Amino acid sequence: MFQYARPIWPEGLEKEMNIAGGFRASFQGTAPGAERRIVRVTASCRYRVYVNGHFCGHGPAAGPHGYYRVDEWELSSHVVREGTNIVVIEAAGYNVNSFYTLDQPSFVQAEVEIDGVVAAATGDPARGFDVFVLPERVQKVQRYSFQRAFIEAYRLNAHVHEWRTNAQSLPASPSAWSAVEEKRLLPRRVSYSDFAVKAPAAIAASGTVAKRSNAGTPWRDRALTGIGPLFKGFELGELALLPTDELGELVTSMRSEIAAEAYEGKPLAFGAHETAIFAFDRNLSGFIGIQFSCARASRIAITFDEILTEGDVDHLRLECSNVIYLTCEPGAYAFESIEPYTLKYMKIIVLEGDCLLSGCSLREYANPDADRAAFGSSDEALGKIFEAARESFRQNAVDLFMDCPSRERAGWLCDSFFTARVEADLTGQSVIEHNFLENFALPEHFAHLPEGMLPMCYPADHNSGEFIPNWALWFIIQLEEYRFRGGDESLIRSLQPRVDALLRYFEGFHNEFGLLENLESWVFIEWSKANSFVSGINFPSNMLYAGALEAAGRLYTNSDYLAQGAALKQVIREFSFDGEFFIDQAIENADGEIEMTDNRTEVCQYYAAFFGIADPEEQREWYASLVHDFSPSRGADEPTIADISEIHPANAFIGYYLRMELLSQLGATTQLLEEIKAFFGRMAEQTGTLWEHNRTTASCNHGFASHVVRSLYRDALGIESLDLKQNKLSVAFTDTSLQWCSGKLPTPEGLVELEWRIEDGELRYRITAPPQLTIEVRNFSGKPLVREE
């Protein structure tokens, strides 16, 4: 993919933690006829590109250990056609293990190409880049979170960014560089963010900060105290500064007489110890920017969060250090973070000196492909939830399926099963899913994990050896659905050795009944009481295992897997169902006999329904109880079909998402839509994104939550399924309380557009779809069906 460029880094520093590298080259402008002006880049860990001082891009897209995805950024809109152009690459090399960036030696590999002619290339004697260690970034700082690398702290002077536009200006003395070993390269495939710059909607509050009279115990997260051989970083005694300690000693007093006001970008003057909170119109993810000047030496902290806590920004709410720290000499600055963060509220604190703030912004880092999708209905609340789900997807699906764009930016399995469905629904393609699965296919092995096991999230480093066996089984479930989404058959075939090795791993935990017993590491069902019943024989884990065996059997035409899965389902039915509900756990006693516990959870019932352990015909009362007695907001005083007082409630993920699938399966559409509004409505109103839990104690922007898109398309609009292997579109209208509904579903061949309304007791609908699709329409609405042209 590169003609001349080689991977390079400042000499001797490729394994140093938290080094900021700068790379600059000049090239001459070209005639107006030039059609292709690009800079081609890959790196470890993160980089950004400027041309003549204009931001062009950030990357790279995530790849697995030992592989690097190559980006190509179009330069034409920023190139000076006559004269010298300057391309600058700034890179952050972290060299720590994390769930977001991989612990691999730092490098940048880049070249500028004009109509096929290489004008500049790293490591090339004739066309080389100048290389610098950028001195403004403070190296020895705390980690941002347990899951991500370092916070950003800078020492700025008035000339810090001149080197981006002035070939004579140097950020530091040029550094000797060394070429590192050649890299295995991969195509990016996924779309580039459009990096739209958003301004705050309002100034939410302003006031002052002062030192507390009783500061209390400093905050000490595991990302601060857990540094050691298995968790890399700088120990407390090494840190050049510790912003969270300084901020923890401060108390904020807001001016009660000043109400929130619209933000119009007018200059705002801050003196020492003054502060203001800026509010965006919704939760956003991207690069934080402020434009400001200081008349004297100053120190500024930028803190941020998705919500306000007691009217203020709690930068530690997510167990992250949501702070950017700037030490500034007198001068004017246009600062932007190199890392993306997630926030609705941004707080500027002048710790020392002054600040004349002339601009405040966030440059979005989000998926650009979900805009063609549409959904609307007679219930306005559902439309707001759809838009919040779209927003959550955009921010959590830039280059892989992330859990959240804030605390972790990690590609978790199981989460990915749900978000992958949304990619197909909102974008009409499965490009991110292809990359996501390819990342698991390519490495020769996964360090620190047992033979055959898959990482719980990836690309990531798992030096502790921890894994979630359940999440590896969800990988197989997702892979089968990927095929029906039109997935790459060669990639599916290439993953068969991974699937076979994984299932061989689980064979080592079979007991005499074929049930998995005493699984290793972090056996995870969901964040509820269900996680207390995972020792011994855990039936939700076995239900998932049975589903994975059958999925593998269908994927690879393996009759042994199919038979094992069917047999395991029957064993689970015989052991786990007590006549009323499915039991979570059994324990083998000292005599080797299996004893059933009385531990029963709501989520176990949903596992039984989702993986076909329960039978809707044989267990009608059980299904009726799940629909009538349970809900995300179930109350103790409500009349019930069965006694559920000892059934431990489920949590959001994955319990309530499996519940939505259950209600859809049973055609309980009216109830499903009401529960969706009750569960997601407040989230959509408060942050414009959907949350990890049903409360704000965790992430307020989570990828899997966008799965409600699937429910709205399927259960409200009526697009039941799209099978791209068979080119078949299935539409099923159900009985709802809606008076009308409309939507657009992207596909690889064009839009499916469906709208319906209730008129004169009839359900009247229109549908258009690409000609390749065969359309099947079924009517369960209880109303006469009329198709209009």
Angle at 566 between CA 560 and CA 572, to 5 degrees: 130
Shared domain for 574 and 623, answered yes or no, is yes
Interatomic CA distance for residues 372 and 369, integer angstroms = 7
Shared domain for 105 and 166, answered yes or no, is yes
Respond yes or no on whether the N-terminal peptide bond of residue 639 is cis (omega within 30° of 0): no
So what's the pLDDT on residue 186?
98
So what's the pLDDT on residue 635?
61
Interatomic CA distance for residues 498 and 502, integer angstroms = 6
Domain count along the chain = 4
Please state, as a whole number, how many other Cβ atoms lie within 10 Å of the Cβ of residue 195.
16
Lowest mean pLDDT among 24-38, 272-286, 673-687: 24-38
Please return the burial class of 688, using the count of CB atoms within 10 Å of its CB with bins 0-12, 13-18 and 19+: buried
Whole-Å CA distances, 46 to 41, 62, 301, 347: 11, 10, 23, 25
Q: Which amino acid is at 668?
A: A
Angle at 687 between CA 683 and CA 689, to 5 degrees: 70
Q: Both tokens of residue 9?
A: 């880094």
Given 685, 717, 749, the domain boundary residue is 717
Shared domain for 543 and 620, answered yes or no, is yes
Interatomic CA distance for residues 351 and 323, integer angstroms = 13
Q: Please report whether residue 667 resides in a domain.
A: yes
Q: Please report whether residue 223 resides in a domain.
A: no
Rounded average pLDDT over 276-299 = 98
Q: What is the distance in angstroms between the CA of the first residue and the CA of the last residue of the chain?
A: 50
* pLDDT greater than 70 at residue 639: no
Assign residue 644 the CATH number of its domain: 1.50.10.10
So what's the pLDDT on residue 208?
97
- Summarize pLDDT for 220-248 with one digit per residue, the tens: 999 999 999 999 999 999 999 999 999 99
Rounded average pLDDT over 76-87 = 87
- Summarize pLDDT for 177-218 with one digit per residue, the tens: 999 999 999 999 999 999 999 999 999 999 999 999 887 899
Output 489-494 pairs: Cβ under 8 A, ≥24 positions apart.
491/434, 491/437, 491/438, 491/441, 492/555, 494/441
329 compared with 644, residue with greater pLDDT: 329
Q: Please report whether residue 258 resides in a domain.
A: yes
Q: Which of 677, 672, 670 is nearest to 782 (CA)?
A: 670
Shared domain for 105 and 128, answered yes or no, is yes
Shared domain for 676 and 786, answered yes or no, is no
Interatomic CA distance for residues 148 and 407, integer angstroms = 7
* pLDDT greater than 70 at residue 256: no
Task: State the pLDDT confidence band at 76, using cuts at 50, 70 and 90.
Answer: confident
Shared domain for 129 and 257, answered yes or no, is no
- Is this prediction's pTM over 0.95? yes
So what's the pLDDT on residue 637?
55
| Three-state SS at 208 | strand
Q: Please report whether residue 369 resides in a domain.
A: no
Cβ atoms of 203 and 277 closer than 8 Å:
yes
So what's the pLDDT on residue 694?
87
Rounded average pLDDT over 598-618 = 96
Cβ atoms of 681 and 638 closer than 8 Å:
no
Q: Which residues contact 601 (CB under 8 A, 6 or more apart)?
A: 525, 528, 529, 530, 533, 540, 584, 647, 648, 649, 650
Q: Please report whether residue 516 resides in a domain.
A: yes
Assign residue 764 the CATH number of its domain: 2.60.420.10
* pLDDT greater than 80 at residue 45: yes
Cβ atoms of 418 and 704 closer than 8 Å:
yes
* pLDDT greater than 80 at residue 777: yes
Shared domain for 275 and 166, answered yes or no, is no
Lowest mean pLDDT among 313-317, 380-384, 419-423, 617-621: 617-621
Task: State the pLDDT confidence band at 257, using cuts at 50, 70 and 90.
Answer: low
Given 343, 364, 385, the domain boundary residue is 364
Report the b/e string of 330-365 with b at 16+ CB within 10 A.
eeebebbbbbbbbbbbbbbbbbebbbebbebbbbbb
Interatomic CA distance for residues 469 and 236, integer angstroms = 34
Rounded average pLDDT over 156-174 = 95
Shared domain for 385 and 487, answered yes or no, is yes
Shared domain for 437 and 556, answered yes or no, is yes
* pLDDT greater than 70 at residue 638: no
- Summarize pLDDT for 488-545 with one digit per residue, the tens: 999 999 999 999 999 999 999 999 999 999 999 999 999 999 999 999 999 999 999 9
Interatomic CA distance for residues 424 and 188, integer angstroms = 18
Phi, psi of 129 (to 5 degrees): -95, 145
| Three-state SS at 541 | helix
Shared domain for 686 and 734, answered yes or no, is no
Q: Indicate the helix (H) or strand (E) that contains 57.
A: strand 54-59
| Three-state SS at 401 | coil
Q: Please report whether residue 154 resides in a domain.
A: no
Q: Which amino acid is at 244?
A: T
Task: State the pLDDT confidence band at 634, using cuts at 50, 70 and 90.
Answer: confident
Q: Both tokens of residue 43?
A: 């790196």
Shared domain for 300 and 266, answered yes or no, is yes
Q: Which of 177, 176, 175, 140 is nearest to 155 (CA)?
A: 140
Given 665, 690, 717, the domain boundary residue is 717
So what's the pLDDT on residue 31?
63
Q: Which of 54, 66, 348 is nearest to 180 (CA)?
A: 66
Whole-Å CA distances, 579 to 413, 574, 588, 781: 33, 10, 21, 33
Phi, psi of 593 (to 5 degrees): -95, 145
Interatomic CA distance for residues 632 and 659, integer angstroms = 9
Task: State the pLDDT confidence band at 301, using cuts at 50, 70 and 90.
Answer: very high
- Summarize pLDDT for 440-455 with one digit per residue, the tens: 999 999 999 999 999 9
Rounded average pLDDT over 6-16 = 98
Q: Which amino acid is at 358?
A: S
* pLDDT greater than 90 at residue 590: no
Task: State the pLDDT confidence band at 259, using cuts at 50, 70 and 90.
Answer: low
Question: What distance lies between CA 195 and its chain's CA centroid?
Answer: 17
Assign residue 175 the CATH number of its domain: 2.60.120.260
Interatomic CA distance for residues 41 and 779, integer angstroms = 53
Shared domain for 618 and 639, answered yes or no, is yes
Domain housing 775: 718-789
Q: Which of 91, 102, 92, 98 is nearest to 68 (CA)?
A: 102
Phi, psi of 458 (to 5 degrees): -165, 145
Please return the burial class of 642, using the count of CB atoms within 10 Å of its CB with bins 0-12, 13-18 and 19+: middle
284 compared with 616, residue with greater pLDDT: 284
Q: Please report whether residue 230 resides in a domain.
A: no
Q: Please report whether residue 542 resides in a domain.
A: yes
Q: Which of 389, 277, 264, 249 is nearest to 710 (CA)?
A: 389
